[in-house]
Structure 1
Amino acid sequence: MRFQFSDCMLDLERRELTRGADQVSIAPRAFDLLAYLVENRERVVSKSDLLDAVWGKRIVSESTLTSHINAVRKAIGDSGGEQALVRTIARKGFRFVGDVTEMAYAAESAAVEKKPSRATPQPAQGQAHRPSIAVLPFQNLSGDPEQAYFADGMVEDIITGLSRLRWLFVIARNSSFAYQSHAMDAREIGRALGVGYLLEGSVRKAADRIRITGQLIDVCTGAHLWADRFEGASGDIFELQDRIATSVVGAIAPQVELAEIERAKHKPTDSLDAYDCYLRGLAHLHRGNKDAIEKALPLFHKAFDIDPDFAAAHAMAAWCYFWRRVNGWSEDRARETAEGTRLARRAVELGRNDALALTRAGHALAHLAGDFDIGIALIDRALFLNPNLASAWFLGGFLRIWRGESESAIEHFEHAMRLSPVDPELYRMKSGIAMAHLFAGRYDAATAWAEDSYTDLPSFLMTVSIIAASRALSGRLAEAQQAMEQLRKLDPALRITNLRKWLPINRDDNFAVFAEGLRKAGLPER
């Protein structure tokens, strides 16, 4: 359903807001807040109604709601003074008072007049010209919960292989894995992810034998378009994976030439033991907290100790050192910076055609070695190799922020969020968009995005700093000081004078904005 009001169009299916001919960047919860107000425009909506509907059972302050209302008004061209669209009702709540026209999609209108003989798979959002697929987590039938990571790794490698086909829109691994514990019909998941096809399957591992089953599902009809079973010894695991990827690609587009199918094959390492360590390390890394990174780092080291040519393991270890640095967790900053730089350069040397290795290593190099041109070039190379790699899009966005390209950075983050809409690393993307808005002088938008990120990971130092700075710059000093108290707890050593040692903000005007906001919020100069 789409809602038209004033010069705006609110598209609930595509989660897009446009004003005139321009698409408006709006934080996810601000979008949900606007949608709720528009859908309930016939009544006054109380603050508790909004908090329940948009934030669920999370505990958030009233100031968070206020900042999101401000972000909504700014996005639709309204203001607290005019209140032409969103009106505050004293001691009652809010009401959307604009004239709204509901508009169904053309396909929906046609369906009322004439029922098609066969449903056509709907493409992923924004990808009408390309086939789209999501690969769901494979069921672990080994009887050993500890082997679940192995099944997850199989799916990740299949996604990576499929993503090498530039014509195929592939939902990122982290978004499809969000449905790992959900008892939902496959077609419901497919529609939620906005894809035309789903791949699901199972892995049974016993001793040195592995059996893999897979089936391709048409989301619209529920028909099974393809199914197969593969069995072999553990040493042949990557060959089995390649056969699955090839069969899926063949089922979707049998006209694809063999050369392109071959490019769908990807083997990160020939050592299954090293790969086991790598997968275990990834499971920790995605949690993002200090304890998880401390557990991930030795696993990546063990992976490339077993297989010295394992590029992605080197890259992820380097990225762990970056993440320790950006959160103020480094125990020996100089030593960790040198070691992270060495590992990142080794990853680039080993993984010239490995998009994942180039992405994480390039991003780490930019931060640890201060070489942003090289970092962006490496991530751009990764996107050439795998245009559906969400992490390359959002980490490339961060490097563009630090180089002073805020609008380009926002485009990168938004593309990453379209590729992976329920990504566990979504908090990073939200925080990146918040920083870009802060540098662009859009303080309410910066606050809204940062507060969204904070609810996902309260320990992310950069997010808390953005909340403090943006609140202060928008005149909300008391709330900014509250955020500053949290910031000082996360990193007691942070000062205005060492900001650039923490975040590599290249442009002086951007640094001045950030520093002034933190200074107003109460961060000491020295």
Structure 2
Amino acid sequence: MQAHSAAGDSVLPRGRKARAVLAVLALSAPRPVARDFLWRLLWSSRQPEQGRASLRQSLHELHACLLPLGPDILRIGRGSVSLNPDRAQTDLRFLSQVAPDDAAADACAPVELGRLLADLAGLDPAFERWREAESERLRRTARAAAEAALSLQTGYTARLAAAERLLAIQQDHEPAWRAMIDAHIALGDRAAALAAYERCTTVLADLAGRTPAAETCDLLARLRAPSRTGAGRNGSGQSRRGVRLGVAPLRALDGHDAALSLGLADEITASLARFRWIATIAGRTSGDEPDALEPAGRDVDFLLDGTLQRGGGRVRVLVRLLDQRAEGEVVWAHRFDRCAADLLNVQDEIAAEIAAQVDPELLLREGARAAGDSAADPSAYQLVLKAVPAIYRLDEGGFRRAGDALQAAVARDPGYAAAHAWWACWHVFLAGQGWADAADAARAAELAERAVALDPADARALTIAGHVRGFLQRHPDEAAALHDRALALNPNLPMAWVFSGLGEAYAGRHEEALRRIRSYQRLSRFDPHGFFYETALMVPHLFRGEHEEVEAIARKVAPLKPGFASTLRIQLAALGHLGRAEAAAEVRGRLLRLEPRFSIAETIARTPLARAQDRALYAEGLRRAGLPE
């Protein structure tokens, strides 16, 4: 729960019961709420006189918080309390409106209804019952509005966005799944349509315990029908949101490992399918070529193939990523050597590492292709691809242009979860570099929540939302829940391990932080974005007093990304504790050139560190390193 003035300042009470009173008033507005209802809701186990006294205390606290906004915003009467509807608005105020166009529909979309007032859970059994009932009421209202909005859309792109909004409210809404699949087919993106059908099947089985209806199966038959034109086979540039990746069965060099070859290919396919933007096409044997893809499998942007051999109790797997749009150019290759004692574990490990390493390579390759495309009217997907590499380069001019591209992508396709997630990630780096203000932090939260609402099963969107919650909003428990869900959905995503590890470090759980962040090294030791992940390792090491280790990592990372302010800040604190004045002076100078106003007071004011001893250790290290107060 958050409450802000028009200027963006927080006006949220400190007490959870006072927050709950504000929540009930906001969700009931403009209707007044009886005082007897409030005390019975929040102090249900107390005697009436005690309950009324506790309510008076919470109302006094709430009044003090809201008074700077004006004396008439909170109306307290003898028998009831209300918020002035002309002075207070909630983010759910448009919930019941049917949006006539995409822009309005984006504004009307609900924000994470399933987590309504999650930070107030457990206050009182009566409040819990009210919270559950209110969540269901809001969900019904939002669903009805979203269903009406979907029925009004005529264009396929608009229907696709409307279907996604409806599925964000009710994941097993089968008519919305049909609308999404049908729109993808009409727009020529057969891979996205097939992926949507598979997601629909999984969701219906998991949540409703049933299989798709006949109307949905008819769409699958349309998908399997031969494409009439070659133009639509990969999806148009305007409609597609990802790449098609074929996975060929590995070629067994000794000719006796066909089962292992197929099993490993299936594991790789399943691991890559966890990345929402990658549509995986599994290869199958065909005719006399046991390792060849069927003809339909050749209709891909990239192909993953390789060889498998065994000897001396070892398994060796060599895998290549080929760009099919560049005449099979090898984009990435890696060799994996494992002990053959546990072949199932070998399959799991190799598949996980391949998935973790292929994802960033595809992002870089597609980003370079998008950057070289001079199309006058790029799609939202192309705009995102252009922006992502520039986020990590961190030169301010290119970084700002990346933000502009992501803003344009969100405007062009309001239902595109990845565009919202990457724009939220851009805001995180903006803050990390010291270039952000309070409005930017609020915008990051809005974008992250919107991304999760649009696609609750997108692990990257979830972990970015978790990092926003932990790093910018300082809600470590909420952040941890989002990170854990992201890792459950995609344990092969290095970003999720690193962001969740940082969340643990912010909360003061430094041993667990190290364990999580080191998981990225197991998956993708030479990740293209390793400078950020290695910097994350410095955080728990610093607060465990391992300052030499911090300095060693910094010396390795700094040459890769000399303008990354986070590396310099943590390194400076470690150098202060080590008493290395000369080295500290050099790092301090570089940091102050990036952030001229950087000081101890500013650092502590914006740090996400939850424990007082961690904040004190950080400040003392910076102080010893010569940073001004």
TM-score by length of 1: 0.51
Q: Secondary structure at the match of 1:388?
A: coil
Q: Distance in 2 between matches of 1:199 and 1:375?
A: 44
Residue matched to 1:377:
481
Matched, 1:313 2:402: no
Matched, 1:421 2:510: no
Matched, 1:295 2:401: yes
Letter of the 1:293 counterpart: F
Which structure's residues are more often helix, by fraction? 2
Residue matched to 1:125:
none
Residue matched to 1:262:
none
CA contact (8 A) 1:345 1:365 kept: no
Shift of 1:478: 2.0
Q: Distance in 1 between matches of 2:317 and 2:552?
A: 42
Residue matched to 1:154:
243
Residue matched to 1:276:
382
Deviations 1:192-238, CA, capped at 9 Å, x for gaps: xxxxxx999xxxxxxxx97646352115489999999999xxxxxxx
Distance change >3 Å, CA 171–CA 405, structure 1 → 2:
farther
Matched, 1:514 2:603: no
Residue matched to 1:503:
607
CA contact (8 A) 2:486 2:496 kept: yes
Q: Distance in 2 between matches of 1:436 and 1:340?
A: 25
CA contact (8 A) 1:468 1:521 kept: yes
Q: Distance in 1 between matches of 2:394 and 2:562?
A: 11
Residue matched to 1:450:
554
Letter of the 2:527 counterpart: D
- Given candidates 576, 588, 597, the residue that maps to 1:484 is 588
Shift of 1:151: 12
Shift of 1:356: 1.3
Shift of 1:157: 10
Q: Distance in 2 between matches of 1:394 and 1:168?
A: 22
Deviations 1:148-205, CA, capped at 9 Å, x for gaps: 9x9996278989xx999699666999xxxxxxxxxxxxxxxxxxxxxxxx999xxxxx
Distance change >3 Å, CA 379–CA 156, structure 1 → 2:
farther
CA contact (8 A) 1:325 1:502 kept: no
Residue matched to 1:87:
none
1:193-272 correspondence to structure 2 within 5 Å: 212=301, 214=303, 216-220=305-309
Shift of 1:489: 1.4
CA contact (8 A) 2:462 2:483 kept: yes
CA contact (8 A) 2:502 2:539 kept: no
Letter of the 2:442 counterpart: A
Q: Distance in 1 between matches of 2:452 and 2:616?
A: 34
Q: Distance in 2 between matches of 1:290 and 1:379?
A: 29
Q: Distance in 2 between matches of 1:503 and 1:428?
A: 18
Matched, 1:286 2:375: no
Q: Secondary structure at the match of 1:485?
A: helix
Shift of 1:310: 1.1
Q: Distance in 1 between matches of 2:466 and 2:266?
A: 19
Distance change >3 Å, CA 290–CA 214, structure 1 → 2:
same
Work out the number of aligned pairs and report it. Answer: 308
Q: Secondary structure at the match of 1:286?
A: helix
CA contact (8 A) 2:245 2:302 kept: no
Shift of 1:432: 1.4
Q: Distance in 2 between matches of 1:499 and 1:516?
A: 12
CA contact (8 A) 2:494 2:520 kept: yes
Q: Distance in 2 between matches of 1:216 and 1:230?
A: 12
Q: Secondary structure at the match of 2:555?
A: helix
Q: Mean alpha-carbon deviation: is it higher for 216-225 or for 314-323?
A: 216-225
Q: Distance in 2 between matches of 1:503 and 1:199?
A: 54
Distance change >3 Å, CA 217–CA 519, structure 1 → 2:
same
Q: Distance in 1 between matches of 2:456 and 2:608?
A: 26
Q: Secondary structure at the match of 1:393?
A: helix
Q: Distance in 2 between matches of 1:520 and 1:292?
A: 35
Distance change >3 Å, CA 172–CA 512, structure 1 → 2:
farther
CA contact (8 A) 1:171 1:419 kept: no
Q: Secondary structure at the match of 1:303?
A: helix
Residue matched to 2:536:
432
Matched, 1:359 2:463: yes
Q: Distance in 2 between matches of 1:409 and 1:451?
A: 21
Q: Distance in 2 between matches of 1:228 and 1:502?
A: 45
Distance change >3 Å, CA 520–CA 215, structure 1 → 2:
closer
Q: RCO higher in 1 or 2 (8 Å CA, sep ≥ 6)?
A: 1
Q: Secondary structure at the match of 1:321?
A: helix
Which structure 1 segments of 5+ residues have no match? Answer: 1-146, 174-197, 201-208, 232-251, 254-270
Q: Distance in 2 between matches of 1:453 and 1:366?
A: 24
CA contact (8 A) 1:211 1:229 kept: no
Q: Distance in 2 between matches of 1:504 and 1:513?
A: 14
Q: Distance in 2 between matches of 1:450 and 1:229?
A: 35
Q: Secondary structure at the match of 2:496?
A: helix
Q: Secondary structure at the match of 2:306?
A: strand
Deviations 1:452-489, CA, capped at 9 Å, x for gaps: 12121111112112222212211212221221121211
